[in-house]
Amino acid sequence: MSYVLEDRDGTPLAAPGATTTVAVDPAETAAVLRAVGHLVGDIGRVCPGATVDRHAHADRATVVVGTLGTSRWVDDAVADGRLDVTALLDDDGRPAWEALLVRTLGDQLWIVGADRRGTVFGIYDLCERAGVSPWHWFADVPVRTREHLTVARDTDHTDRPSVRYRGIFLNDEEELDTWARRHTPDGTIGPTLYAHVFELVLRLKGNYLWPAMHVNAFNADPENGRLAHEAGIVIGTSHCDMLLRSNEHEWAPWAAEQARAGHHVEYDYSIEGANRDLLHRYWRESIQQNADYEVGWTVGMRGIHDSGFVTSRIDDDPHLSAEQKHRARVSLLNTLIDDQRALLADELGAERAAGELQCFVPYKEVLPLYDDGVEIPEDVTLIWSDDSFGHVRRFPDDAERGRRGGHGLYYHSSYWSPPPRSYLFISSMPLTLMKNELGKAWDRGIRTLWVNNVGALKPLEQDTEFFLRYAWEVGRVEGEDGTHRAPTSTSDVSAWARDWVDRSFSGGIGAQVGPLLEEFAQVTDVRKIEHLSARAFSQTAYGDEAARRLDRLRELAEQVSAVWAQLPDRERDAFFQLVALKVHASYLTNAQFVHADRSALAYAQGKMAAADHHLALSRTFDGHKRAMIRAYNTVMSGGKWDGIMTPEDFPPPATALFPAGRPALQIGAPGLGVVVWGEERPGDAPALEFAAHGTRSKWIEVFTTGAGEIEVTLEADPWIELGAPGSGAARLTVATERRIAVRVPQDAADRVGQVVVRCETDGSTVVVPVRTSAPTSTPEDGCALEADGYVSLPADAPDERHDTEQSSWTVVPGLGRGGGGLLEAHGRAASADPATVHDAGTVGFRVHLETPGAHLLELFRFPGLDSTGRLRVGVSVDDLPPVLVESPTTDEHRGVWAQAVVENVERLTLRLPFLGAGTHTVRLHVVDDGFALSALVLWTGERRATTLAPPSSTRAGQPLPVRDDPDPVSVDLAALDHVARTLYGVLPAEVPPHQAVFVPREYWATPTTFTRNEVVAQPTLGPPRYAASPDGTQDVLARLASGVAVADDGVLALEVERTLREEPGAWTTPSTDEPVVGWTHTQAETNGRTGLAMHVDAPGRRWDDALQAPGLHLRVEVPRPGTYAVWVLVKFDADSDDALTLAVDGTPLPPEDQFCGGDMFSFGTAQAWVWHELMDVELTAGQHTLSVLARKAGLRVDRLYLTLGGERPPVDAAWTESRCTPWPAAAGA
């Protein structure tokens, strides 16, 4: 309950027309004085018309602010007994770290801190309760004004933090820097912006910061460090920046300065003598610059930026074995840390240095050195890391927990990753995941320092706040035994989310929006939007999981839009920032990918009009997403945040873009097509089979095979329902495709009927038999029932459980994959012996099988980690002994970790013994602490690929499910446009096309990690080339140029889709290895977005032997011989689909001769359509065959541009394809 009251029955602090006086001792630190200034301003904003004077004497003040041992007024009040500060003292009677006290004394309110930050936190505690959000500047949350500011007469609020250092890391911060360049006088992330960052962190009761280090060096502007110290923020640095040196931007200039003075230096501590002395000087200068500040010092060493520990003298020593080199690195790191600590003692004094925060991060290649003997002094804090996806990798062991320096945690809510795992657009990590992992960290001794990588900070406001709030209050206990955790604001994530919303917005909307945000995170994080790719979700297995998931995201987005519309105007911009952006981004991006997938599926199913329709829908959703992003930058808050939101551009790495659809090549006369539930392709005899215990709703899709509308009627037997409830018939006008639900009664068993589908346009008919099965036996009440080839069990709903003192299973609400809770093991089995495992904590799931057999059990394991332990579970059936199932994925880069963090699951399987039809109990036995899962699936039939588990099985005694999958063409475009006009204030048509991106040969001359792209704006694209005719018919093949392309003035401009003609002038060839694959077409962004590209749609395939690779071949005529620069317009997602081989006249040219070295990937060019300057080729006068041979499947190729000049290829609006000479003439026929 807040001590700030809504009524006036208390101690008044402020009111319009009244004067509030604030007393603060001038001897207070700058941090306190700065916070008092904010308090004065906040009171004036909360109570418009109130006068606030900060120069009062304590005896006459309304509010008295002071710090123990600093404020004479506080110390006098303590001395004369008026102020009891026992609550500010620790068990030894000393001022407790950052403890705060807010108390009424008579008609005054006293804010007292045990130290300077305790006082600051007390000030901001009052400010927030009064109505000023910590996000008043960073998210434009309006101040909640009051007619008066009154506190309870008996106010006595005390608080102190749990984790000593609580902070954030501004990393991968290029978007924040782009904003700063446009909006601050510093022209980069500097004092102007840092002042707001420091204030935000303190208002959230944080105290620690790893500053930006990609875009500049914190030390570069001395004002940064001074301002941080005066604000009360402790500055530290990450695992790769030692002793507050930001190597990415400080090392090279410093080394160049030494070189000008005649001193060569390398960032390599294995080089003794002058080189090591210079490294000492480098670090010493940083210590000197920051010696007057409260900071943290990271010791140890890694390479520049995030590269490995450089030890050339050890690596190059031919007399050392691999083991001896490893031991030498251990010894070197010990020496290095001792030397760094000596530098600190020399500059700060030994006593002060010993009391400073010193940190060591055993990260990546340094971790095995630590494990094998690096002796970290006891007063140094060890900082452990998660896997960059929220899963803590390792916890201190019993010996490590006793360290005086304690332990820290480096956590991630944002990450620039090796491809394709970056996630930098939004954060969809459930807060329950963060809380669960952080809670484990606390329980296992990581209590000194927590720091969270929050990228460019926006739009990670909720993640940032929860992290810092939880760090403040984690582990609080009541009772002498210290085992019962007292309720705190973060103990219940759902309640915290509701309160977080209500603290920012009026109307009591937290009860609606809090759960909405939780569900958004669970549904989205199944596959982060940054990780979406082709066919991520099935549209044919067990119904349409993609459509079901997308429909839920649509509902969430619509609910968010409705809430926004009801808010006062002054609150809408903040709501857009804190809530709407990420929910809308998830829906729009997922819709873009789902409809692109639907386009490719429709093409494969013969639904040509539908293929084009869904591609158009995919692009419509993309347009609305881009309108939303533009609104965030240019409309929201009057354009205040312009430049902060650039998820389609680099740097940092772009989000997932341009999903591949498959437009129609030819669309002719209309005809009737039918495909039914469960079919990948239309069959010769479509039928619907309803299992005895399965869903009562499946579907038929009817479609036109050509252009134009067809009239379709469906008639079913009387016991079968079609479409609308209660209807046995339907009449549809079908322009693309339509999905019609087919339902059977609950009690329909062993029945046969049919649905007759008739095309009234041409009289054709398709009969779809409908059959329902009868159960083979009577199931016991409550057990899960087999149907459609599986039993699907949510793990959070076991039928039985048995806990022991040593082990148990618990449910973590809100952490199930896609919904529901997570089942997690606590404790361990005494041994892995089956008898011992049998007696460990157990949960059981009762299932009823119709199909006897030795079935496959699949466990959907939450991808938690334990890098020094094991992750096992015991599985038993009925009275059989348990069998151990073990995950190989105990740490990052082990097992299937790379795939597991993208899909947010690891799938483990076990073949069960032969089970007869009837009821059985599948049991899970605790073996290792932390093993967790969200679902179990027992496969009794064909196991079809899905991302989520199949829909949960029905329980005996419950009604059978009736789940209608959404119709994929039911998209309310008017509703999308309404949101764009009202909420965004930007229409998709107002957003210019993507920029053209060029990668010239010079790009590869230097490291590309941070190299910005060469871009050219495209106000418009070229004219549409392959648009359908007015009647909807289409013949792209007829519009493709035919014959031999002829160079003009030293230029060849080629459209590679010409190879679809399969003629002597342009053709394709399949691979010669097995399985045989070839090039297929997809859409491109050229030719007014009607263009085509080619790709090999076989993820994971590669061809190092170019002669086995699928090929695109184009005949060309070259009048002018010479050295031609070859450019290719390509799109790839990651380093797994970024390579091709060029061949001339059948001879492959070595990929290593390409300017990129053979692999085109760079962080800046992934996900975009990019013109790559590939290589130079010598062409003689005459005819040649140019071939593009796949090296890595998935690469999309749109155009080739060969030139004797040095120009870039033209943008789309200026593109002209080379003329073609008919093949017979060119061949001399």
Looking at the chain, the number of H-run helices and the number of E-run strands are 26, 57
Do 1046 and 1088 belong to one domain? yes
pLDDT at residue 307, as a whole number = 86
Q: Give mean pLDDT, residues 1091-1120.
A: 97
Identify the bridge partners of residue 230 per DSSP, sorted by sequence position.
none
pLDDT at residue 835, as a whole number = 86
Do 320 and 392 belong to one domain? yes
d(CA 827, CA 807): 4
Do 561 and 435 belong to one domain? no
Nearest to 602 by CA among 701, 699, 669, 697: 701
Question: Per residue in 230-288, pLDDT tens?
Answer: 999 999 999 889 999 999 999 999 999 999 999 999 999 999 999 999 999 999 999 99
Q: Which two tokens stand for residue 1044?
A: 């031999």
Question: Per residue in 533-559, pLDDT tens?
Answer: 999 999 999 999 999 999 999 999 999
586: how many CB neighbours lie within 10 A of its CB?
24
Question: Per residue in 875-888, pLDDT tens?
Answer: 999 999 999 999 99
> Does the structure show a pLDDT above 90 at 478?
no
1105 in any annotated domain: yes
Cis check: omega of the bond before 881, within 30 degrees of 0: no
DSSP 337-352: HHHHHHHHHHHH-HHH
Do 250 and 143 belong to one domain? no
Buried b / exposed e over 852-872, threshold 16 CB at 10 Å, is: eeebebbbbbbbbbbeeeebb
pLDDT band at 397 (very low <50, low <70, confident <90, very high): very high
Question: Per residue in 896-930, pLDDT tens?
Answer: 999 999 999 999 999 999 999 999 999 999 999 99
pLDDT band at 830 (very low <50, low <70, confident <90, very high): confident
> Does the structure show a pLDDT above 80 at 482?
no
pLDDT band at 487 (very low <50, low <70, confident <90, very high): low
Mean pLDDT of all residues belonging to the chain: 96
pLDDT at residue 1167, as a whole number = 97
Identify the bridge partners of residue 736 per DSSP, sorted by sequence position.
none
Question: Per residue in 922-965, pLDDT tens?
Answer: 999 999 999 999 999 999 999 999 999 999 999 999 998 898 99
Q: Give mean pLDDT, residues 847-869.
A: 97
- What's 151's domain CATH number? 3.30.379.10
pLDDT at residue 484, as a whole number = 39
- What's 268's domain CATH number? 3.20.20.520
Q: What range defines the domain where residue 1016 resides?
A: 996-1226
Nearest to 702 by CA among 694, 690, 693, 710: 710
pLDDT band at 56 (very low <50, low <70, confident <90, very high): confident
C-alpha 502 chain-centroid distance? 26
Q: Considering 713, 740, 772, which residue would you say is the last residue of a domain? A: 772
The domain tally of the chain equals 6
pLDDT at residue 1229, as a whole number = 34
Q: Give mean pLDDT, residues 760-789.
A: 94
Do 929 and 881 belong to one domain? yes
Q: Which two tokens stand for residue 345?
A: 């003692």
Question: Per residue in 330-380, pLDDT tens?
Answer: 999 999 999 999 999 999 999 999 999 999 999 888 999 999 999 999 999
337 in any annotated domain: yes
CB distance 877 to 923 below 8 Å: yes
- What's 1150's domain CATH number? 2.60.120.1620
Do 423 and 369 belong to one domain? yes
968 in any annotated domain: no
CB distance 594 to 547 below 8 Å: yes
Q: Which two tokens stand for residue 443?
A: 């329980």
Q: Give mean pLDDT, residues 164-191.
A: 97
d(CA 324, CA 470): 45
- What's 610's domain CATH number? 1.20.58.2150
d(CA 794, CA 817): 10
> Does the structure show a pLDDT above 50 at 114?
yes
CB distance 1187 to 1112 below 8 Å: yes
Do 468 and 516 belong to one domain? no
Helix (H, G, I), strand (E, B) or coil at 1068: strand
Q: Considering 716, 743, 772, which residue would you say is the last residue of a domain? A: 772
Nearest to 1201 by CA among 1082, 1093, 1047, 1003: 1047
61 in any annotated domain: yes
Do 803 and 888 belong to one domain? yes
Do 740 and 829 belong to one domain? no
CB distance 430 to 440 below 8 Å: no
Do 227 and 131 belong to one domain? no
953 in any annotated domain: no
1021 in any annotated domain: yes
pLDDT at residue 777, as a whole number = 87
Phi, psi of 373 (to 5 degrees): 130, 5
Q: Which helix (H) or strand (E) element contains residue 1221?
A: strand 1220-1221
> Does the structure show a pLDDT above 60 at 322?
yes
Percent of the chain residues topping a pLDDT of 70: 99
Q: Which two tokens stand for residue 155?
A: 């106010």
DSSP 38-88: HHHHHHHHHSTT-EEES---GGG-SEEEEETTT-HHHHHHHHTTS---GGG
pLDDT band at 570 (very low <50, low <70, confident <90, very high): very high
Half-sphere exposure of 903 (CA within 13 A, CB side): 17
- What's 731's domain CATH number? 2.60.40.10
Do 1220 and 1074 belong to one domain? yes
963 in any annotated domain: no
Do 684 and 750 belong to one domain? yes
Question: Per residue in 675-697, pLDDT tens?
Answer: 999 999 999 999 999 999 999 99
> Does the structure show a pLDDT above 90 at 1225?
no
> Does the structure show a pLDDT above 80 at 612?
yes
91 in any annotated domain: yes
Question: Per residue in 1165-1203, pLDDT tens?
Answer: 999 999 999 999 999 999 999 999 999 999 999 999 999
> Does the structure show a pLDDT above 70 at 485?
no
**Polymer length of the chain:** 1229
CB distance 387 to 897 below 8 Å: yes
Q: Considering 965, 990, 1015, which residue would you say is the last residue of a domain? A: 990
